Chain A
Amino acid sequence: MIKARGLTKTFQINKFTVEAVRGIDLDVSSGEMVGFLGPNGAGKSTTLRMLTTLLRPTSGEANIGGCDLLSDPAGVRKLIGYVGQNSSAGVEYKVREELVTHARLQGLSASVARARVAEMLDQYDLTGLEDRMIGALSGGQKRRIDIVMGVLHRPPVVFFDEPSTGLDPQSRSNLWDHIRNLRRDYETTVFLTTHYLDEADSLCDRILVIDGGRIVAEGTADELKAQVNGDLVTLETSAAPETAAAAERLDGATEVTVDGTTVRFRIARGDRVLPGLLRELDRINVDVFSVRTSRPTLDDVFLTVTGRSLRDSETAPAIPGL
């Protein structure tokens, strides 16, 4: 449904050249939910804006539902819905009025537009807000309106740019349900971007980890996690150096670190090696106060492929206005 080869985008600002996207290949099949996971400034929005005809690629090509991005942008626009990173409803309009106008801009006739909007308001829990000014709504309500505008023409492909950024936890999970329902009810192909690990983890069939304008890892959440060198084991003991030494002796243990009384290391199937390790520590008279093993997270994946943690790799925010 979405196919891209060698997409790049270079911005020229005065004397500076920003290589925002440096060669991206994509293949998303019909009905799939695929997402870009990456920090701010990774090139997620830029890629999305190229795929939605908003930005002309510097090089490369793409094809959406059989329409070529460069030679048939009008054809592409008929097939897609787009929910951008910023709020896209006019603040000085009433909810229903703005939605009906948007439905008309999508090509629906006046009567179909009104009926469709009524249906969508109901589906997205916006009933009762029809005649409220959009500027006076909460963040979660505005975001739902953005989504309604992106999908009310029932496009086979929808692009979401950071759908839940800035929302409270309850609005987020509510929003995720709406996104999941798109596939359940209309077999919609969904492509989204996010810098939240849990969002990628819970929504995407397949995750593309993007950093510095390139895809640096790709796979299902489980496949990606399996790339990380095993589970993280954390022990607190009475003798950290001896504990670390015992850990080093284990077959396949890596990244052994000591931090005060805490020892951490990675190993495949930490749950299986722990009993042996505890017996060994007991034998050399080390008291164990606590033990924890944790499965790799997507943040560990990011750390492994880029050498940085996604949490603290938030680079300078993108240029204002984007």
Chain B
Amino acid sequence: MSFLRDTWLTFDRAVRPALRSPAVLIVGVAVPLVYLVLFGPLLGGTTDENGLSSWQWFVPGMLIQLTLFITANAGFALIPDTRSGVLERMQVTPVSRVALLTGRVLKDVVLLLIQALLMIGLALILGFRAGVLPILAGLVLLAIIGVAVGFGSYGLAFKLKHEFALAPVVSGIVVPLMLLSGVLLPMDRAPDWLYYLSRANPLSYVVEAERELISGNYDQQIVLVGTLVAIGLLALTTTWSLRLLRRQLA
């Protein structure tokens, strides 16, 4: 029980500054919203082979992009705390080491879900349509992938220790993964080499699963595949960063 208590305490502390100035949440979601408003209409009139409107196709991809943006950068918040004495001070208490990380990841995911709802709200105004249950299912997948990427980002922050070292690694991983996952344009229009590269990107399956979930097509095989890929990623990054944490925080 002390693990849950410690996670809650860490979460509560981490979430406070954001609650005090909610404007930070808007800033975080601003770039993806700009994509939605200024890029989304360019897809106007296009429909895929299943007859989905461009918004139905585009919005789920933007939600994944938002998730990556927010959680891949989560590690940056850890670095000042390791440099000052904040993290050390907490490590010398009897608090669970793992909870120091899970509480932060939980905060990232909660804020992410609020930002995702903001984006969905704007998309609904623009012409996107989705039911409540499909949206909830879509948010669950976002949460899984958000936790996975968040743990990865904290792991990298532990390893690299400096913002200037973390920044190129994060964008070096996130930008190609995002472009190759077909969030902006359908990858089946790509040249062969690019198409096959995108098939090798685990994130592509998650994006496709998110599209089906939000359209309410839960029974598609890709939903299962995408969810399993997300869970696999989650297992991978969690194990990795918790191992780093245990080694660093002896």
Contact = CB atoms under 8 A, between A and B. Distances in A.
B89 interface: yes
A53 B86 contact: no
Given A88-B88, A93-B17, A105-B93, A56 B250 contact: yes
Interface string A30-56: 000000000000000000010011111
Given A55-B250, A88-B84, A101 B9 contact: yes
A321 B83 contact: yes
Contact of B84 (A49, A55, A56, A86): A86
B90 interface: yes
Interface string B1-26: 00000100100110011001000000
Interface stretch (A75-83, A179-187, A201-209): A75-83
Given A73-B250, A97-B16, A102 B94 contact: no
Interface residues of B, number: 25
A45 to B, nearest CB: 11
Interface string A91-113: 01100010001101111000000
Interface string B147-169: 00000000000000110000000
A320 B90 CA distance: 21
Interface string A137-177: 00000000010011000000000000000000000000000
A101 B86 contact: no
Contacts, number: 71
B91 interface: yes
A257 interface: no
A87 interface: yes
A281 to B, nearest CB: 57
A54 B88 contact: yes
Contacts of B250: 53-56, 73
A85 B90 contact: no
Given A86-B85, A87-B85, A321-B83, A54 B91 contact: yes
Contacts of A88: 84-86, 88-89
B93 A77 contact: yes
Interface of B: 6, 9, 12-13, 16-17, 20, 81-86, 88-95, 161-162, 249-250
21 contacts: A52-B92, A53-B92, A54-B91, A54-B92, A54-B250, A56-B250, A80-B92, A82-B89, A84-B85, A84-B88, A84-B89, A86-B83, A86-B84, A88-B86, A89-B86, A92-B17, A102-B89, A105-B90, A146-B85, A150-B89, A321-B162
Considering the complex of A and B, which 6 residue pairs feature the smallest CB-CB distances, nearest first?
Answer: A88-B85, A88-B89, A84-B85, A86-B85, A56-B250, A82-B92
Given A52-B92, A87-B85, A104-B9, 16 more contacts: A49-B88, A53-B92, A54-B91, A55-B250, A74-B94, A78-B94, A82-B89, A86-B84, A86-B85, A88-B84, A92-B17, A102-B89, A102-B90, A102-B93, A321-B83, A321-B161
